Structures are given as C-alpha cells and as structure tokens.
Chains A and B, each alone.
Chain A
C-alpha cells in the first residue's frame, strides 16, 4: 500500500510541483495518472521511490517511511519497486539477458554482482520473465537490436525479475507506435492480473488510461483534482483536469483504421 500524506515538493528554482497531495493506493490496483505536462505527474511518481525527495509531508510504502530512509535501507526498498521509463533506459550494448539480470543487483553483495555471480535460480528467473513477456528467444541479443516495443518489454522483464510489489511507469508507451502501444499495455494488464503487482502509471493518452486502469488520478497544478474509477470520468471532469478540451494527440484513437 502506498500512502501520500500532505506531500509538498518545491524545486530549488522555485517551482511548486506538488502543493499538498493526499493519496492511498491499495495493493493490486492499476492506477493511471493523467494531466497536463508539468502538472506534477512525473514528480509524484518519482517521489514514491525517492528518486525525488519531498519538501514536506510523508510518503509510506506499507509501513516504511520512504522519505526518512537512505543508503542501504533505501536500496533494499527500491528492490521491491520496479520502474519503467519512456526511453526504456536499457544498456544498449549489453545483452537482453544481462539487462534483465541487472534488476537483481540489490539482492546481493557488491563483490558477487561485480563478478557476475548470480545464483542459477535467478538466471532462470530472468529467463522466465523474458518468457512471460514473449521474448525469450531474444535473450542473448544486444538490446539495441530490438524494436521499441520489444525493448520496453525487456524493461518490463527487468522489473518483473525484481519480484516487486509495485511497478511505477513514467509514460511507458509514449515512444511507441499505436499497435505496439496496445501490446505493451496488454502486458501491463497481464502483470497486474496474474501477478497481483500494483501498477502506477503516468499516461499521456487519456483513452488508454481509461481503458486499462481501474483507478484514475487527475493532477492539475500540483494538486489531485480527481480520484476515482475510470467509469466515473466524463468530459466535464476532463476539462477540469486539463483546463481545456483534449487535443488530438492526447487520444490514441482508433487503431483499427
């Protein structure tokens, strides 16, 4: 369970990204965060695993106060939180297998990981994750030889190999073409249902968010202006969140054209 208690974040240049956020995300939910660019979505997401620090307020994952831990404790916490990035963030010249395996580094001592001494069980786990994403045959190919959609799946496999409780996704499909987007979103849905992993995703495309998420959080100007189920959203609420009617590129549209 993720809890935000009156979380505020002001950047050193004066920008108030979050002005007091209160949230409770339960285990197993598929949450989509929507809103304008710059509204605070990215900040909100990165505060959860302390990639960004809070200015005031608290954030809890289960019973752990994220803002108060650091060093080894923080790294152990991050083990159970997977993160997916818009630009995939794989090591391009490394094999897919090694990229996925690197998700386990926080589980072992520095010495063993530097020498690449992962237990055989974990190597199998990595391959299992790749298989679950349908790309087992690409395991020993260089990551940059895969297509965008495949690379994002490698990233997903890396997250899965962490055996996480939560997966955070920062605009995971924004760089993909419409067909691949659906495939990757289906993968997210599969992971959420089959493994029970909580998903919290920033989504650029509103219709995608509505289709896949069970819960929608609308962010505007650093505050949560909507928090409810996807079927509770109507056009008026969207205008509230975005301050205008939606633009063409904020909808994925019909991919059956």
Chain B
C-alpha cells in the first residue's frame, strides 16, 4: 500500500498490485518443479547438436557404412510407402472420429439441447476421452487388436473424436440462433432445423478443424511409431540409434507434409474471415 498526498492536501491509497503475487507464485512453482528435472550436467555437450544435425542431413559415412547422396534420396523415395500408410491411418481416423463427434457435439451444445441433464453426460464423456494421450490409446488398442495399422486407426479415431467434439460444440454455441428458432417455429424438428440453419454456418470451421486434426494426427504418428504403430513414425523409431541419416530423411518428408498442411489450413482460415 502506498500513500499519496496531493497538492490540495487530500490523501489517497494506492492498492497493492496483484501482479507481484502472481509473479511470486510463478517463481516458487518454478523452483519447486525444477527439483524434478534431473540431468547430468557433465554430459551436456552442445556441440553434439551440430553433430547430430550433420548426421541427419548427410548420407552416413563411417568405417562400416558408406552411403552416397544417391542412397539418401533413394531412401526418401522409398519413404513414400510408410508415408502413405501414415496418411491412410490419419485420414481414416480423422474422418471417422470427426463424424462420430458431430452427434455428440450437438447433444452437448447448450443452445440446441437446452437441458443440462443431456448436455452434462455428453460433455463428461468427451472430456474424459480427451484427457487420454494418444500414445496410451495406441497401447490399449494394440493390446486389443495387436500391432500394425488397425490400432493406429483406432487410436487416431478416438483422438480425433475427443478434439473435434469439443471444438465443434464450442463453435455451435457461438452460432447465430435466429434462423434455428425461426425454423423450429415452422414445425421443423431439431435435426431438420439444425441441418438447414446451423450446418451452413459451421461448415467452413468444420473443414478447417478437420485439416487441423489431420495435421495433429500426422504429427502424432511420429510418436506412435515408437510403440509399434506402422508408418513414418516406425521408420524414425527403428533408425534412431544408428542411422541418423535415415531419420533425417524421414524428418524432411514429415516436415514438407506438415508445412503444406499448415499452408492449406491458413488459406482456408483466411477464407473464413
């Protein structure tokens, strides 16, 4: 608290600035959490970073293995097979998961079904599913159906469902309700009113979300490969100890794909405005 006295004698109190409290909490939390970050500082060698980057983006040339740039690019070309598998899984998972998400999002939207006993359970299920990281989904899927492509599709489906349902109901809740009420008043039931008044409003955002989730799934496939799901991720996982150049090639391929997806998504979002 700061006391000020101004020219004509009046006094006024300056209240304590809350921002210092927030900063203090942040600092304390950081110090506490830092205790859990274990590392061996003697092993830190930043120059290794450059070594790795070089190894990733040039053909492998050691005492035992001599590869040329031709090999490097040939490998990249070969990557189109695992890449295609990854894309297939992502498309399948994204589409199926998002389609399932649509009815859930409708039931969870407070402006369509105004009954909170309907909204709440749907929201609860959606939130629950959203909390499970995709890798756990993949492990559970693998336990049920074995390794390969199918668990990947299942994992992507459930993952996409979780994200799409939340994004969808949030967008539905911000939509203009006037046409919907007008249609209901003409005797249309909720589904009809929905298709004619709300769907046109959410169509473009829906497509944008589809692309976004597709991109997320492609990224996730990099991780899923580590636990045994086929695709580009598997390529990276298998090669990560001894064949950095192959990892690099896979990274480049992934990079191009994700970059392209981001560009397309920006274009679509630009059309939204």
Contacts and interface: CB of A to CB of B under 8 A. Distances in A.
B44 interface: no
Interface residues of B, number: 9
Contact of A131 (B6, B14, B15): B6
A123 interface: yes
Nearest to A120: B4
Main secondary structure of the interface of A (DSSP, over half): helix
B15 A124 contact: no
A139 B15 CA distance: 10
B8 interface: yes
Contact of B15 (A123, A127, A140): A140
Contacts, number: 23
A142 to B, nearest CB: 12
A118 B8 CA distance: 21
Contact of B10 (A97, A123, A136, A140): A136
A137 B10 CA distance: 11
Q: Categorize the interface residue count of chain A.
A: 10 to 19
A139 B11 CA distance: 12
Nearest to B8: A131
B178 interface: no
B7 interface: yes
A127 B4 CA distance: 9
B12 interface: yes
A190 to B, nearest CB: 15
A97 B5 CA distance: 14
B7 A128 contact: yes
Contacts of B10: 131, 136
Contacts of A127: 4, 6, 12
Interface string A91-133: 0000001000000000000000000000000011001100100
Interface string B6-24: 1110101011000000000
A126 to B, nearest CB: 9
A131 B12 CA distance: 11
Nearest to A141: B15
A128 B8 CA distance: 8
A27 B180 CA distance: 62
A18 B7 CA distance: 44
A195 to B, nearest CB: 14
Contacts of B6: 124, 127-128, 131, 136
Contacts of B14: 97, 139-140
What 9 pairs across the A-B complex have the smallest Cβ distances?
Answer: A127-B6, A128-B7, A128-B6, A140-B15, A124-B6, A127-B4, A140-B14, A131-B6, A139-B12
Interface of A: 97, 123-124, 127-128, 131, 136-137, 139-140
Interface of B: 4-8, 10, 12, 14-15
12 contacts: A97-B14, A123-B4, A124-B4, A124-B5, A124-B7, A127-B6, A127-B12, A131-B6, A136-B6, A137-B12, A139-B12, A140-B14
